[in-house]
Amino acid sequence: MKNKRYITLGFLSTALSLGLLFSSTLMAESSVASAEASRLESLAKFSKVISIVEQYNVDDITIQELMDKALDGMMKNLDAHSNFLSQKDYKRLKVQTNGEFGGLGITVGMKNGALTVISPIDGTPADIAGLKSGDIILRIDEKSTIGMTIDEAVSLMRGKVGAPIDVSIVRTGEVKPLVIHIVRAIITIESVHTKIINESTLYIRVASFDKKVATDVREAINKYRATTKGIVLDLRNNPGGLLDQAVDLVDIFVDEGDIVSQKGRKESDEKVYSATSRGTLTKVPLVVLINGGSASASEIVSGALQDHKRGILVGQNTFGKGSVQVVLPITKTEAIKLTIARYYLPSGRTIQAVGVKPDVAVAPGEVKTHKNEFAIKEADLKQHLEEELKKVDGTKEETKADTKEKKDIITPEMLNKDIQLKSAVDILKALIITQGK
């Protein structure tokens, strides 16, 4: 009887499990069927609206134009960086990625709903005309930017080489809008610039992340390896660019651990990029300059170096663009740019909307010095050691003359005109001393 009871209970338990499994399967199938029905209803609604607009709209409009407008509106409403790329837009994007294009030389983004200058590119018409990171663009010629997308704004700012354009902006500290007159030109980006400071400090300026950044930085480090005791990496007003170049740049300074990860809705969109010992080129002390114009790839570089405690960050909080976009072709000549994931730094923190905070906050400006006319030094005494002074003065004059002949050197006078760079150099000196370099 006892065994029969256990058999009965076992049978009931199995039957109950099968019943629950069958019920779960029915619920799953019902959910799928419901989702499919909702999908078909939505598509039918969309098709009906397209048909009504095509038939009754006051102006004649083709089905192709309607579909393009529908796609454009849908992509714009997803987020600030997703959009539909028409044939013209898609072609322009390809040209820009290759590092040469026509326009003003300005990178823009949406911040708090306003079209904002992320940064002007070094040496371009926008930079020469005086546009600055953080400027809010109100008008492009006579067209208001209210409700305008990034791509619409870029399309308006680009045009025939030599053609003028007026950009109306609002700038912090100015009581009224400014009108900046700019003449369009062919924009050729030179992403990496190098100079020497104090003979033993290598200054590397990365203006944007095109396809040659890591290679150019490696060449610069190898060129000055024998005399370099420290490096200043300047990422100010760097709007970003190619992710693989950002990863490779960090790998030059970091020999192990994660550099950046991206997480999306799908597992296939989740990736982790890590440093390798074979990619590491130098371990000398490093200071990184950042500001509000440092965005995307430059935030990945600065944030990863900060998390690995590989460099000291000096300057101001970065822009805060931490999302991943991919360009997906939908025809031979058209595509969509879609946000598929967010970036996360090695510590797990996000960049999106918060940016990267500097270790040492320094506002831009010049170093203010005050000469004390009443100070008395040894050289002012009547019987000081003149021969030694002549030796020192002779050395100074020779160094000064030598500096003038070299365009790749940043002089003390130049440093005093850039307090952020001056602060970075001073911090680097302390690192070199404490690490015994």
Q: Is 281 in contact with 304 (CB distance < 8 Å)?
A: no
Torsion of CA 277, 344, 106, 118, to 10 degrees: -130
E strand or H helix at 153: helix 150-157
User: Catalytic annotation on 30?
Assistant: no
Angle ∠(357,349,269) on CA atoms, nearest 5? 130
DSSP annotation of 86 reads -
Strands (E), 254-408: 258-264, 271-274, 286-290, 312-315, 323-329, 335-344, 360-361
User: Which residue bears the tokens 């256990």?
Assistant: 6
DSSP 368-430: P----TT---GGGSTT--HHHHHHHHHHHHHHHHHHHH-TTEE-HHHHHT-HHHHHHHHHHHH
**Beta strand 164-170 with 178-183: parallel, antiparallel or unpaired?**
antiparallel
User: Catalytic annotation on 60?
Assistant: no
User: What is the C-alpha to C-alpha distance for residues 326 and 176, in angstroms, rounded to an integer?
Assistant: 39
User: Catalytic annotation on 47?
Assistant: no
- How far, rounded to the nearest angstrom, does the alpha carbon of residue 368 sit from its chain's CA centroid? 31
Phi then psi for residue 293, to 5 deg, are -90, 0
- Evaluated on CA atoms 53, 58, 61, 66, the torsion sign reads negative
Catalytic residue (choose from 127, 307, 422, 423): 307
Catalytic residue (choose from 195, 321, 337, 422): 321
Catalytic residue (choose from 82, 119, 296, 423): 296
Please identify every residue annotated as catalytic: 296, 307, 321
